[in-house]
Structure formats: structure tokens, C-alpha cells
Structure 1
């Protein structure tokens, strides 16, 4: 079972990386836009924490949540990105981003079980803030579609990484108790507090 999940995670990572490799070739698509978009989600601790916690949360819920929760985050983030590009005002963006790390970290730490629809609603709410930040900070010389594709691919990759981390944490928790899961979620939540207060 462990080997099958590892192979599946590897296959997903490879498939998600294909668009990035395709855009990396000279003369294919809007390389600058794609690479700007791809680099943006991995440029900040706040985005990384949220994306990984979404994956861990999805893994903890299991079943349909394993793909529905991360997919919701990526798709709603694209909507938020469109709002950012169009200068549609979304209040408290930075606060919402910091709160995403705190709330998702706490959910993981406490092992909170939620209905799939509720989980999708939670990650979707936070995805609006993350997407808006990506869209609002899009460089003027970056192609909009290519930029959006870049940050969506990067986000999907981090969500898959979060699911893989969730699997590793889950296996470690089987041997060491819930302390491993609590520590992972707790670190994310504490970092979120640091981001919210400006200490990080």
C-alpha cells in the first residue's frame, strides 16, 4: 500500500511538472509570464505554509477530500487571482493569508474532521486571499494567462507535496502517536501568528 501511494505521488508530481518544463523552452508560450507566476507562490513562507497545510488537511480527511480539497484551493485561487488582476478590492488580504496558516495549521494539529463540503469552503475562502495577492502582484510585462497557469501549477505541486507530507506524518504518527501531526500543524500555526504580527 505504501509503495502504491508513493508511486502515485511521484506520478502526480511528474504530470504537474510537465507544463512547467514545456514553458521553460525558448520560444514556447509566454515563458516570462509562466515563470513569474510559478515563482510567486514559492517566494513567500505564508503561501508555502497554506499550500502544504491544505494538502495535509486533505490527506487527514481522506477519500474524495484527497482531490476535492486541493482542487478547490487551486481553482478558487484562480478566481482570486482574476480579482487581483482586475483591481477588484478584497479586504484584509494579508490578514487573510496569515490567518490561513493559523487556521489550517490548527485544523491539522487538532486533527479536526470536517465534511468535505465544509473543508472545501474553508480552503476556498483562504484561496481567495492567496489568489488576489498573486494577481495583484503580477508584473506588467507578464502574460496574464501564462502567469495564472504558472501560479496554479506551483500551487498544485505544493498541494501534492502537502498530501505526501500528510502521508509521512500519518505514518510517523502511527508509530509515535499524534505528537508528529500536532507538531507539524502547530509549527504552521505559530508561523502564521508570526506573519500576522509582523514578527516573520
Structure 2
């Protein structure tokens, strides 16, 4: 089991190299916006993990993903309008780390706290996306892809929570722990740059 865990976590290390750098090509169409959250390990991991954690630990698992999607759009509109937030990339990395830890520990939070936490992180993700997309249909595509990633993570989390298999808890810990390590690696890269 330990070897499998180490191998799985080592397999995540190349993903650190494919996170967004902030200088991505701008796009204004639906397809560009839809694929934008899928093009960087940082955003992809955070959006899947919001759903995963919600399914694993939260009493009303749809609330945190909904809060994330709404505040992601708000952040994107702010970024599109030229708003600059300090430490956007470190906060995105911190979101991957924190969400991974929450999923690994299956930590339940009160609904308002869970929604506030993911909403806070979503604003930073949104500002980053808003700076890289040209608005309109691109933002609609981004929000739809985000929601689909949440639903995929949510489905996995609910399945792992409900299954009676002995491997379900260790698997959720491996997934969450691997995502947290990805977040730590991203943070190390961003802070060291």
C-alpha cells in the first residue's frame, strides 16, 4: 500500500509544470473558455477537489460547488475589468493545498464556512481567468467547465463516502493527500519564482 501511495504521488509531480503561468493566450469564444480551466493542473485540481471534498464530507454537498462557481464568475468579471489582487498565484496554490487537505481528512465544515472558504479561493481563480480570457462567451464556457469538474469530483466523493469497501477511506486519503502535495509543490514553485 505504501509503495502504491508513493508511486501515485510521484506521478503527480509532472503536473506542477503544466499549471497556468498567467501569460496564457487570450480568447473570447465559448470553446476557449470551456477548455481554459482544463489546461492547468492548478485550476483543474482545485475545481475537482471542491466537488470531491463536498461529496466526502459536507452535509449539503452542492452548496460549496455552487458558491465556488458563482464567485469564480464574480472574480473573473473583476479580473476582466482590470482588478489586480495581490498574490493571485500563491493563493491559487494555497487553495489546492487546503482543499486537498480537507478532502484527505474528510473534514466537515459548517455550510457558511465551507461556502465562504471555497468562495474566497474562487475569487482568486476567477481573477486569474478573467485576466486570461476576453469575456462574454469565454466566461460562460469557463463557468460551465468549472461546474462539470465540480460535478465529477462530487460524484466521486459521494461514491467514496457511500461505498462500504475497505479501500474507500484509504483511496480518499490518497487522492486528497496527492492533491495537497500538488498544492505544496505549486506553492513552492510560485514562492520560489
Q: TM-score range by the shorter chain?
A: 0.7 to 0.9
Q: Determine the structure 1 residue equivalent to 2:124.
A: 129
TM-score by length of 1: 0.77
CA distance in 2, matches of 1:34, 1:94: 24
When residues 171 and 68 of structure 1 are mapped into structure 2, their CA distance, relative to the original with a 3 A threshold, is closer
Deviation at 1:124, TM superposition (A): 0.3
Q: What corresponds to 1:95 in structure 2? A: 90
Which shows bigger deviation, 32-41 or 110-119? Answer: 32-41
More helix by share: 1
Cα distance in 1, alignment partners of residues 116 and 189 from structure 2:
27
Q: Residue 48 in 1 paired to residue 44 in 2?
A: yes
Whole-angstrom distance in 2 between the partners of 1:148 and 1:32: 8
Q: How far 1:68 moved relative to its partner?
A: 1.2
- Structure 2 length-normalised TM: 0.79
Deviation digits for residues 91-113 of structure 1 (CA, Å, limit 9, x no counterpart) = 11000110111000001111111
Q: Unaligned stretches of 5+ in structure 1?
A: 1-30
Give the alignment of 1:18-167 within 5 angstroms: 33-64=29-60, 66-138=61-133, 142=134, 144-167=135-158
Aligned residue pairs total 164
- Compute the displacement of 1:162 (Å): 0.4
Residues in 1 aligned to 2:49 and 2:88: alpha-carbon distance in whole angstroms: 18
1:38-72 CA distance string (max 9 Å, x none): 111000000111011100111123443x2211110
Once the 2 structures are TM-superposed, how far is the Cα of residue 165 of structure 1 from its aligned partner?
1.6
User: What is the root-mean-square deviation in Å for CA atoms of aligned residues?
Assistant: 1.8
